[in-house]
Amino acid sequence: MAIAIAVSAAEPSGVWGSLKEAFANSSALASAKLDAASNELVRAVAADFETAEGRSDLQKALRQRFADAEPVDCIERSLANLREVSSILDAKAPSDAAAFKGWLLSISRKVADAATEGAFMGIGGEQVSDAERATLGQIAKALGTSA
Question: Which of 48-52, 64-68, 110-114, 125-129 has the least mean pLDDT?
Answer: 125-129
As a whole number of angstroms, the distance between CA 100 and CA 38 comes to 9
Decide if pLDDT at 67 tops 70: yes
As a whole number of angstroms, the distance between CA 99 and CA 105 comes to 10
Decide if pLDDT at 118 tops 80: no
Residue-level pLDDT at 14: 74
Decide if pLDDT at 46 tops 70: yes
End-to-end CA distance of the chain: 18
What is the domain range of residue 130? Answer: 2-143
Q: Over pLDDT 70: what percentage of the chain?
A: 91
Query: What domain count does the chain have?
Result: 1
